[in-house]
Amino acid sequence: MSRVPSPVMAFTAGAIQGTDGARGIVDHRLARRMLINEVRRGRVPMDTVCDAHPELIRAARNVGTETQTECPICEEVNLRLITYVFGHGIGPQGRCVSTAKEMRSLNARPEDLNAYVVEACTECRWHHLLRVLPVGGRGRTRARPRS
Ligand SMILES: [Zn+2]
Instruction: Dump pLDDT digits (tens) for 87-124.
Output: 988 888 889 999 999 999 999 999 999 999 999 999 99
User: Mind listing the pLDDT tens digit for each residue in 38-93?
Assistant: 999 999 999 999 999 999 999 999 999 999 999 999 999 999 999 999 998 888 88
72 alpha carbon – ligand 1 mean position (Å):
7
Q: Which domain holds residue 29?
A: 24-136
For residue 99, count CB atoms less than 10 angstroms from its CB and return exposed for 0-12, middle for 13-18, buried for 19 or more.
Answer: exposed
| C-alpha of residue 3 to centroid of ligand 1, in Å | 33
Q: Is residue 14 part of a domain?
A: no
Bin 123: left if φ > 0, else alpha if -120 < ψ < 50, else beta: alpha
Whether 6 is in a domain gets the answer no
Alpha carbons 122 and 56: distance in angstroms, whole number: 9
CA 41 / ligand 1 centre spacing (Å): 16
User: Whose CA is closest to 36, among 53, 21, 22, 48?
Assistant: 48
From the CA of 97, how far away is ligand 1's center (Å)?
Answer: 22
CA angle, 146 then 33 then 22, to 5°: 20
The reply to whether 129 falls in a domain is yes
Compute, in angstroms, the gap from residue 79 CA to the centroid of ligand 1. 7
